[in-house]
Amino acid sequence: MKQPCKIAYILKRYPRYSETFIVNEILAHESAGLAIDIFALRPPSDTHFQNIISQVRASVTYIQKPTQGRKSNFLNTLSPTPASYFWAELQETAQIIPDIWQKLAFATGERASVVYQALWLAREVRQRNITHLHAHFASVATSVTRLTSHFTDIPYTFTAHAKDIYHQSVDFKDLQNKIKDSKIVITVSDYNRQYLQENYGKVAQSVKRIYNGIDLAKFTYLSPENRPPKIISVGRLVEKKGLSILIKACYLLKQWGCNFFCQIVGGGELETSLKNQIEELNLSDKVILIGSRPQNEVCELVQNSAVFAAPYIIAKDGNRDGLPTVLLEAMALGTPCIGTNVTGIPELIRDGKTGLIVSQEDEKALAKALKQLLYKSDLRVKLAQSARHLLESEFDIHKNTALLRNLF
């Protein structure tokens, strides 16, 4: 009799306010009857969380570090140290995986914390009869997952997004090994897939593109024909979001005598500098930062706006957005979007068809596009209708997670 499929999701942190795409994916799997256990390498660090996290049924286990350890029959010391915890964990794992001593050579070059967490996870997944491992992001979560897979002989897959592919800190050989050793690699755009195949050669030829999706039943479409002249942008206040460009574009709109109001939702490291920029440009009556908000409130704000601005850029360290879920949500709600030609965004915002695309860091082009959508209700309606149709055909979470389950 075939063993039922039971999946471990391995994440760096869970939950995270900005990673609703992972929660959406897990919920869609659960609605299809898939059994999931979630493992996180770190506890959450956010102060706000999206409402939908409460709907996840999967258990969440935080993988401890060598400085914490767990009770062990092999920890025979009154003053345990990280080394003694590590040694005890290794001996405990050997009780379940006797050949772990031979398999350890595979971990050469890995950080001690990664090896320890992989040992810890290897015991857990064996004891829980996990049949497949899946990690999100090709960074430390996949490092731990790759070792765990080798220790347990349980296959693994991972989803690569953006920072984990393009950031200047990405180690070429390390990512190449992760791709080579995985059962299959998933990424969220054709742009990403092409980049990986061009740069990582033969090992990346089987990379699959599966778009992030959303549950469209939870987002009621409302025609944007009669919307107040409001601009909305939602995201972390970090360089790659290009929000300083949006503020400059708003300055131009004000200079042109346009009637508008812009709200920026989110928190982050650039909050102070963005507030200073707003004050310096005398835009306090036109642009406001309103901090993080729960998803239901964000949806209301988005659906009460004429246009969603996504002036994303490639940051100095190579960091960039992949295919932000917030764009899917805005389009599903009927709010037309303006984006930039960064990574896979033009695959979603198809210029002149499902939204408008402008060049990165071009505040004048952005301002002109914003003005168009603020004043041309027929254009808003045309773009919004086409965008919703695109989501229904290519970005439905239930269709796309079914493709993912087939790979598992």
Q: How confident is the model at residue 27 (pLDDT cuts 50, 70, 90)?
A: very high
pLDDT tens-place string over residues 257-295: 999 999 999 999 999 999 999 999 999 999 999 998 888
Q: What is the pLDDT of residue 322?
A: 84
pLDDT tens-place string over residues 301-332: 999 999 999 999 999 999 888 889 999 999 99
DSSP state of 175: H
pLDDT tens-place string over residues 218-248: 999 999 999 999 999 999 999 999 999 999 9
Contact criterion met (CB below 8 Å) for 327 and 337: yes
The pLDDT mean for the chain works out to 93
Q: How confident is the model at residue 5 (pLDDT cuts 50, 70, 90)?
A: confident
Q: What is the pLDDT of residue 2?
A: 57
Q: What is the pLDDT of residue 70?
A: 63
Peptide bond into 229 cis (omega under 30): no
Contact criterion met (CB below 8 Å) for 118 and 148: yes
Instruction: Give the C-alpha separation, 389 to 386, whole Å.
Output: 5
Cα 382 to chain centroid distance, Å, stands at 29
Which pTM was predicted?
A: 0.90
Q: How confident is the model at residue 68 (pLDDT cuts 50, 70, 90)?
A: low
pLDDT at residue 1 above 60? no
pLDDT tens-place string over residues 328-355: 999 999 999 999 999 899 999 999 999 9
Structure tokens at 102: 């031979």
Q: What is the pLDDT of residue 241?
A: 96
Look at 72 and 226; give whichever has higher pLDDT: 226
Q: What is the pLDDT of residue 41?
A: 94
Instruction: Give the C-alpha separation, 320 to 309, whole Å.
Output: 16
Portion of the chain with pLDDT greater than 70, in percent: 95
Instruction: Give the C-alpha separation, 253 to 316, whole Å.
Output: 27
pLDDT at residue 48 above 70? no
Total residue length of the chain = 408
Q: How confident is the model at residue 172 (pLDDT cuts 50, 70, 90)?
A: very high
Instruction: Give the C-alpha separation, 149 to 154, whole Å.
Output: 5
Q: What is the pLDDT of residue 296?
A: 87
Residue 132 has, within 13 A of its CA and on its CB side, a CA count of 19
Distances from the Cα of 84 to the Cαs of 90, 97, 99, 238, in angstroms?
A: 10, 19, 21, 40
Structure tokens at 62: 């935080």
Instruction: Give the C-alpha separation, 350 to 399, whole Å.
Output: 21
